[in-house]
Structure 1
Amino acid sequence: MSHSHPSAGRVAMVSEHASPLAELGGPDAGGQNVYVAQVAAVLARRGHEVTVYTRRDGPRLPDRVVTPDGVQVVHVPAGPAAPIPKDELLPYMPEFGERLAREWAVATPDVVHAHFWMSGMAALAGARALGLPVVQTYHALGTVKRRHQGAADTSPAERVGIERAVGRECAAIVATCRDEVAELKAMGLATDHVSIVPCGVDPVRFSPVPGLRRSRPGPRRLLTVGRLVPRKGFDRAIRALAEVPDARLLIAGGPEPALLVAEPEAERLWAVADEYGVADRVDLLGGVGREHMPQLMSSADLVLSLPRYEPFGIVPVEAMACRTPVVATAVGGQLDTVVDGVTGLLVPSEDDHDTAATIRGLLDDPRRLDAYGAAGRHRVLDHYTWDRVADGLTAVYSAVSSVPSLSGVVR
């Protein structure tokens, strides 16, 4: 690319099921789509030549697309050109890897960054013959998923074995939090090539919308956000609400509101709300567009993030960016992001009656709420912007390849 800085690097990202283009418009964009899109954009703006390889999941997609930030997205043919659930993509990874090998033999990157375990498998297949360094980010680990979901885990049986093999062969692993490093160690992986770089948030998009909180008459507003799946612990928030008078609980997530009636988890949550006598104080909002989320978070007195497990958990970070204090379970990445007694409060991972007491105590203490909110915003600006994430990744890249660390790159 003609405008790249002479000392910048050529970075190939592999994100087999999560296209960065989905983040720009799609409701299906999960954390990985957003992560890949944002990191690629920052690196490209700094002058690196960034190409993202994702699986072609539609017949009419162009072979290559260049985003407004100058990131090249390549749609790799591997399996049918149709949407396929990610847990069914494994058989197409050898073909994905062969395509990468062919592509990289012609246009050789300096470093390859793989996102998710199957991307790692394909990236290593593509990089092996050329001796290219592969940096691996798992985004979620099969061992953790299996431990918490048991028989409900839809991952392929080979997942954990492949994750281990990828971890042994890659040049570096990027973990998103300290808890993930412990999990990697428990898998038998050496952690001397593991670096912690958290996920990020856009502090301009996620910023406090003034005037929404205390000017509002009526009950206090509790908000919880995430996919409508049991592990997110929305039922725990509903049970706590029973002991928090004069408050409403808003649950944002799942399909659009009209489709909630057909959603088994929504039905289960309504039943819990009935059982605990709080049905009139629980609002299931359905899916809320990312563009409306900062306003919703800014309007809440408190964001509750009570999952049973959470690899990283971006919701507390987004809430903190909006100056909203957080009550979160002491699991996974939330142990790193939420500073107990500074930006919010951590509660035990198993359900307990103290959650309600914790929420009540905070709602009764406006000065502490305000202090936690302000501290949360500061923490995001210090640690969780995409610029900070890109700094961390560039340091990892430069340790295993010729990609320069910060000093040589125009910001």
Structure 2
Amino acid sequence: MTYSDAIGTEALSIALVSEHASPLAVLGGVDAGGQNVHVARLAGALADRGHRVTVYTRRDARELPDRVRLRSGVEVRHVPAGPPEEIPKDELLPHMLGFGRHLVRDWQSDPPDLVHSHFWMSGMAALYATRELRLPLVHTFHALGTVKRRHQRHADTSPPARIACEKEVGAGCDRILATCRDEVAELAAMGIPPERVGVVPCGVDTDQFTPHGPAAARGAHAHRLIQLGRLVPRKGAAVSITALTKLPGVELLVVGGPPPGRLDEDHEVRRLRDLAHGLGVADRVHFTGGVPSEEVAPLIRSADVVLCPGDYEPFGIVPLEAMACGRPVVATAVGGQLDTVADPATGRLVPPRDPEALARAVAGLLADPRLREACGEAGRRRVLSRFGWARIAAGTEAAYLGVLAARPALARVTGTTRVV
């Protein structure tokens, strides 16, 4: 009897491990972005397919409850690993053994059928626990240390052990789910055979992100550009600001970063403001700070074009959100954006760190309202056909069942009894 024969269409108990990216976080902070969205939406979509999902994330504040019901079928558990306070994710590695030990204790009496870890440090914690308990492990990296080191060089603040740890996770898990084709090639360069890797992209909520609905208020300028996401240098906000010098009458809304009341304290905001002042475009650049998730779609709908000018982008949720809202995208031709943005159908792909190329692409779209409308409609169709969460969850579930079917022994949990 195979594992798949044993479980049939029965619901699974699934543990998602996301050590720094809580599905409860406000988006736009330094360490809060696409992974938070991915984990939250994947958990919900798997629950919609009848599975029971528990998300494990690190407790980063004392007042957080042990358990939070995110929605029907999904619970978030806060794991005590390190001090209960915010810690930059690049400083969390020493606490991952404690995280893994907590998982072992939690799972000894009620183990999940399968564990799916997200990001390399979650992978280390989950690998420790799944080895101890002989549980199947699927892993999604979301970003790779080799890519970060290549692009950021001496500015890379990742722990020196990151790449070695990623190789260990890649070799030790049952299956890797990459989010784009570019990642498969990067993993192969690390020595991880492509046959151990499947591709399941990130998704977008096509009910929340839709062309129809309220739009945020606009200023007096003729056109609005929006850039959304974590406010870190690699996201390319400086490129967008520089491009404004070639785009008269256009305003740029930068969404993300610290809470609005703390923008003045943020080093990156100060750097970008100084740049805008020096270029003479400060009156056309506006920073919102981090915003609740329900405000993102109205902001996107208020834009003529959405910018995604990152130096590199492991996947990139924002292009999907923009296309789902029927807005054209100008993005750099890197990483996952090569898979999501179809040039010229849904927008334009430009070289990274090239404000003139960015400005030319934007100017062409702004000059032609019909072209913008056509790109927006094509983007919406593309998202509906490829990137809805129901489709992503189905692909993820198929990968889970493949892992369970391939296990050499039946290890289905029935109550508290494990059959082998």
Tell me which residue corresponds to 1:329: 332
CA contact (8 A) 1:23 1:34 kept: no
The answer on 1:205 being equivalent to 2:208 is yes
Root mean square deviation, CA, Å: 2.6
Q: What is the Cα deviation at residue 67 of structure 1?
A: 3.2
Deviates more, 1:155-164 or 1:347-356: 347-356
Distance in 1, Cα, partners of 2:36 & 2:313: 17
Q: Which runs of 4+ in 1 moved over 6 A?
A: 213-217
Counterpart of 1:293, as a letter, is V
Corresponding residue number in structure 2 for 1:140: 143
Q: Which of 15, 19, 22 is the matching residue for 1:16?
A: 19
Q: Deviations over 1:125-146 (max 9, x none)?
A: 1111433221001111111122
Please identify, of 31-40 and 280-289, the stretch whose mean Cα deviation from structure 2 is larger: 280-289
**Structure 1: distance between partners of 2:50 and 2:256:** 37
Q: Contact 1:27/1:289 (CA < 8 Å) preserved in 2?
A: no
SS at match of 2:195: coil
Matched, 1:261 2:282: no
User: Aligned to 1:196, which of 195, 199, 208?
Assistant: 199
- CA offset at residue 348 of structure 1? 1.2
- Paired residue type of 2:296: M
How many residues align? The count is 399
Deviation at 1:260, TM superposition (A): 2.6
- Tell me the secondary structure at the aligned position of residue 331 of structure 2: strand
Shift of the alpha carbon at 1:57? 3.2
Q: Percent identity?
A: 56
Q: Which residue of 2 aligns with 1:406?
A: none
SS of equivalent to 2:194: coil
Match of 2:49 in 1: 46
1:100 aligns with 2:83: no
TM-score, with structure 1 as normaliser: 0.89
**Contact 1:5/1:47, CA 8 A, preserved across alignment:** no
- Say which SS state the counterpart of residue 92 (structure 1) adopts: helix
**Equivalent residues in 2 for 1:379-394, closer than 5 Å:** 379-394=382-397
1:3-402 correspondence to structure 2 within 5 Å: 7-22=10-25, 29-209=32-212, 218-351=221-354, 353-401=356-404
Unaligned runs of 5+ in 2: 1-6, 406-411, 413-420
The alignment partner of 1:195 has SS state of strand
- For the structure 1 residues 56 and 304, does the alpha-carbon distance in structure 2 shift closer, same or farther, using more than 3 Å as the test? closer
Change (3 A) 1:60 1:268: closer
CA contact (8 A) 2:178 2:201 kept: yes
Structure 1: which 5+ residue stretches go unaligned? 404-411
Task: Report deviation, 1:5.
Answer: 10
In the alignment, residue 144 of structure 1 is paired with which amino acid? V
Measured at CA, do residues 353 and 111 of structure 1 come closer, stay the same or move farther in structure 2, by a change above 3 Å?
same
- Comparing 123-132 with 298-307, greater Cα deviation is found at 123-132
Distance in 2, matches of 1:138 and 1:291, equals 27
CA distance in 2, matches of 1:163, 1:330: 25
Q: Secondary structure at the match of 1:291?
A: helix
1:8/1:47 contact within 8 Å kept:
yes
Structure 1 pair 265–218 and aligned structure 2 pair: CA distance change class (3 A): closer
SS of equivalent residue, structure 2 residue 294 = coil
TM-score by length of 2: 0.88
Aligned 8 A contact 1:302 1:326 in 2 = yes
Q: Structure 1's 271 and 123: CA in aligned 2 closer, same or farther, altered over 3 A? A: same
Farther-moved stretch of structure 1 (84-93 vs 381-390): 84-93
Q: Note the C-alpha offset of 1:62.
A: 3.7
Verify the 8 A CA contact 1:5 1:48 in the aligned structure 2.
Answer: no
Superposed displacement of residue 188, structure 1 = 1.5
Task: Label 1:373 to 1:13 Cα distance change in 2 as closer, same or farther (>3 A).
Answer: same
Cα drift, residue 63 of structure 1:
3.4
SS in 2 for 1:285: strand
Q: Residue 319 of structure 1 contacts residue 325 of structure 1 at CA under 8 Å; is this kept in 2?
A: yes
